[in-house]
Structure 1
Amino acid sequence: MANNRQAEEQGQLSVAATATGGVRVLTPAGEIDHHTGDTLRRALDVPRTPHPRFVVDLHRVTFMDSSGINVLIAAHHALTRAGGWLRLAAPTEAVMRTLQIVGVDAVIDCCATLRQALAD
């Protein structure tokens, strides 16, 4: 937890990964921008398993620019092609506004909570 807080304070990005019921849950902490987007991109690499399912829990993301949007859209397309899906959970107000402005919320499921995102 201390590493995530330190990353947030320094404008960096860390990504914690867990799995719940066959769904890979990624929890980025900090800023997602052109300097840090590759960290999230690598975490979202589509595994060679059938029907990969990912949830990105955004509650610790303090800022996201178009680089983050591009990473999410690319992952959504790759996961859909692989027969899986991507859902976004618990975006902060600022991040949700960005998702809505560019229309990502109309393309990728955005859920208010992680629990909702994990529900089938």
Structure 2
Amino acid sequence: MAEEPMTDAKQAMPSGQLSAVVTADEGTRVVTVAGEIDYDTGNTLREALDISGMHHPRVVVDMHQATFIDSSGINILIAAHHTISKAGGWLRLAAPTTTVMRTLSLVGVDAFIDCRETLTQALGD
């Protein structure tokens, strides 16, 4: 699986304690996040998930380096899920850490946003 930067690649600079790097893998946008997703860092994730101008977007958020997510981060994922679905695409979460997955499960996000154990699984059909 070769990951190469998108032609319009966006790399969000660390904002507080979160970084988000956007790449593409065979037409799927991959947003790799590292650090804490919370109120103070949420704009970094929100900008990385912006699908303006994309038709039928496929987006995977690689969360294997995410250490924390609060309600702000969950709201960003829910809003992105709705926006991407309305555009005819899908959003998947890949490899959330145990801590992050526990939070996603507690609030029921995993019931409507597809969560996969690995990035490879998330990129598959």
Q: TM-score, normalised by structure 2?
A: 0.86
Of Structure 1 and Structure 2, which has the larger fraction of its residues in helix?
A: 1
The residue that corresponds to 2:62 in the other structure is 57
1:116 aligns with 2:121: yes
Indicate the SS of the match to 1:58.
strand
Q: Where does the alignment leave 5 or more consecutive residues of structure 1 unmatched? A: 1-6
Partner of residue 51 from structure 2, selected from 39, 46, 51: 46
Q: Where does the alignment leave 5 or more consecutive residues of structure 2 unmatched? A: 1-13
Of Structure 1 and Structure 2, which has the larger fraction of its residues in strand?
A: 2
Residues in 1 aligned to 2:54 and 2:32: alpha-carbon distance in whole angstroms: 21
Percent sequence identity is 66
The residue that corresponds to 2:93 in the other structure is 88
Deviations 1:18-67 (A, max 9, x none): 10010000001110000001110011011312101100000000110001
Q: TM-score, normalised by structure 1?
A: 0.90
Large movers: runs of 4+ above 6 Å: none
Residues in 1 aligned to 2:54 and 2:74: alpha-carbon distance in whole angstroms: 25
RMSD: 1.3
1:22 aligns with 2:6: no
Residues in 2 aligned to 1:22 and 1:49: alpha-carbon distance in whole angstroms: 11
